[in-house]
Amino acid sequence: MTRRASFTISRSSKKSASTMHELEDQHLLVTRARYERERKARQDAERLLEEKSRQLIEAEKQRSSFLAMLSHELKTPLNGVVGAAQILDGLIAGLAHAHVDTILQSSTSLNAQIDSLLTLAELYAGDISIENEPVLVPELLEQVGEALRPMALVKDITLRITCDKELQRPVLSDRKRLRQILTALVSNAVKTTPSGIVGIAARRSEEGISVLVSSSGAVAEQKTKSFGRPAPDRYAGHTPYDDAEVTLPILRETVALLGGEIITSESLLGGTCFTVVLPVEFCALAHEVPKGTAARRNRPMRVLLVDDNKINRMMAHHAVTSANMSCIEAVNGAEALERLDEDEFDLVLMDIQMPVMTGDEAIRRIRMMQAPYRDIPIIVVTAHAGREGPDSFRDIGADYTLEKPILFSRLISCIKEVTKKPVAA
């Protein structure tokens, strides 16, 4: 009986051990299966994340390309309108002259709205960069004043611009953003002022520079309500809105990007006074060395104009020749390189978006050429917008960047700046 019980216990122990091994094997299989499911889920999640990231990067590229294309397609014809109006402005008088002023005023307003919409799109996408370069504040204020003067004259408004002598030194700032700020301030003052005076004063401050724009326009309280960023669906439907709802929020955020602030108060003229305070660094005064071969020859400056658009070439050609300079044209970067090989030039005006060879590629190749053209001054004149900016063009060898549409006086001023040579106004 005892032996039988022992045998039964032994068989039971072996069965229990076998069952335990089976359970362990099953547990191991279950664990491995769960691990494989989790591993596959992680891989699927990683692939999905990579695909979403790729789609976002591609969407960002498409958005940037779309903004660049939109800017180019809008500003290229606008450049022709502004150029033709400037040519007519010097040929006619009387009532027709007033109509030309209206064209210039409307063109300036349209260009400002295009810039505002493009900047607003960049703000919503969080894709605004700051590109600092030396900027002469008095020169920039004069450019803004000249662009907005036709709008002011229609309303019998006088623009008064004053600058401290200390601002004769260049400051390090983003030229494009600074121009947007000044344009928004002055245009808003002109629009809200029935008639009279709009004063623009720039001075050096402890923080850097301060720009005051005062007028007899709307009181400060009314305008400060418009400083919040508009909601994306604000413009859906047909609800009327004031363009200040676009320009003032962009102004506030652009000032913030530059590390500055806006102070609003009532002006002595009984209206609004906007004060923009910006932290900037003042550049050292560098010794001016004449650039280009014309500085060493007693002859008119020779300009190589490179643009694939016939109307743009016509307008720039008129501006250059009216300033007693000679102008030779090329329709793309490859033709520009051929012209440089065949003739002698002192300056290149270069468009960017062109067939056969783009302007940026042409600039790179020019900077790789043998003297004297390796160091020839190059001004980029473009309607191209997006990630590319003055810094990117300067990095490949450009001396200056002008955005279309261009004012003839601004183009001539820029030519004088980069060549350090007197040019007829």
pLDDT in tens, 300-341: 889 999 999 999 999 999 999 999 999 999 999 999 999 998
| Most confident option among 133-147, 148-162, 242-256, 343-357 | 343-357
What is the pLDDT of the chain when averaged over all its residues? 79
155 confidence band (pLDDT: 50, 70, 90): confident
d(CA 178, CA 115): 13
d(CA 350, CA 380): 5
Query: pLDDT at position 347, please?
Result: 94
| Main-chain phi, psi angles of 63, to 5 degrees | -65, -45
pLDDT over 60 at 240, yes or no: no
Query: pLDDT at position 308, please?
Result: 93
Q: How far from 145 is each of 148, 157, 166, 378, 386, CA to CA, in Å? A: 5, 12, 20, 26, 26
Least confident of 111-125, 220-234, 252-266: 220-234
Task: Give bridge partners of residue 204 from the DSSP assignment.
Answer: 209
pLDDT over 50 at 294, yes or no: no
pLDDT over 70 at 213, yes or no: yes
pLDDT over 70 at 402, yes or no: yes
Cα dihedral: 374, 375, 379, 380 (round 10): 40
Q: In the sheet that 326-330 helps form, which strands lie side by side, from edge to edge?
A: 326-330, 302-306, 347-350, 378-382, 400-403
Please name the residue that has the structure tokens 């309500």.
225
Higher pLDDT, 365 or 422: 365
Higher pLDDT, 216 or 215: 215
Percent of the chain with pLDDT strictly greater than 70: 78
Q: Is the peptide bond before 405 cis (omega within 30 degrees of 0)?
A: yes
Higher pLDDT, 122 or 316: 316
Query: pLDDT at position 321, please?
Result: 93
Higher pLDDT, 149 or 364: 364
Query: pLDDT at position 406, please?
Result: 87
Query: pLDDT at position 225, please?
Result: 47
Higher pLDDT, 83 or 299: 83
Q: Residues 357-377: what's their mean pLDDT? A: 87
CA atoms within 13 A on the CB side of 156: 3
Please name the residue that has the structure tokens 């994306």.
232
pLDDT over 90 at 180, yes or no: no
At 299, list the tokens: 């002859």
Q: Residues 169-192: what's their mean pLDDT? A: 86
Question: What b/e string do you get for 214-240 counting C-beta neighbours within 10 Å, with b at 16 or more?
Answer: bbbbbebeebeebeebbeeeeeeeeee
91 confidence band (pLDDT: 50, 70, 90): confident
pLDDT over 50 at 296, yes or no: no
Q: What is the pTM of this model?
A: 0.65
Query: Between helices 95-125 and 175-191, what is the axis angle to 10°?
Result: 120
At 9, list the tokens: 């216990």
Query: pLDDT at position 19, please?
Result: 73
Higher pLDDT, 356 or 250: 356
Q: How far from 315 is each of 97, 151, 322, 374, CA to CA, in Å? A: 19, 22, 11, 27
Cα Rg of the chain, angstroms: 32
pLDDT over 50 at 61, yes or no: yes
Q: Position 356: which residue type?
A: V
- How would you class 155 by CB atoms within 10 Å of its CB: exposed for 0-12, middle for 13-18, buried for 19 or more? middle
Least confident of 27-41, 124-138, 208-222: 208-222
d(CA 411, CA 321): 12
pLDDT over 70 at 206, yes or no: yes
Q: Residues 92-100: what's their mean pLDDT? A: 78
355 confidence band (pLDDT: 50, 70, 90): very high
Q: Which domains does the chain have, with CATH numbers?
A: 129-232+241-286 (3.30.565.10), 293-419 (3.40.50.2300)
Q: What is the pLDDT of residues 222-232, one digit of tens each?
A: 444 455 555 55
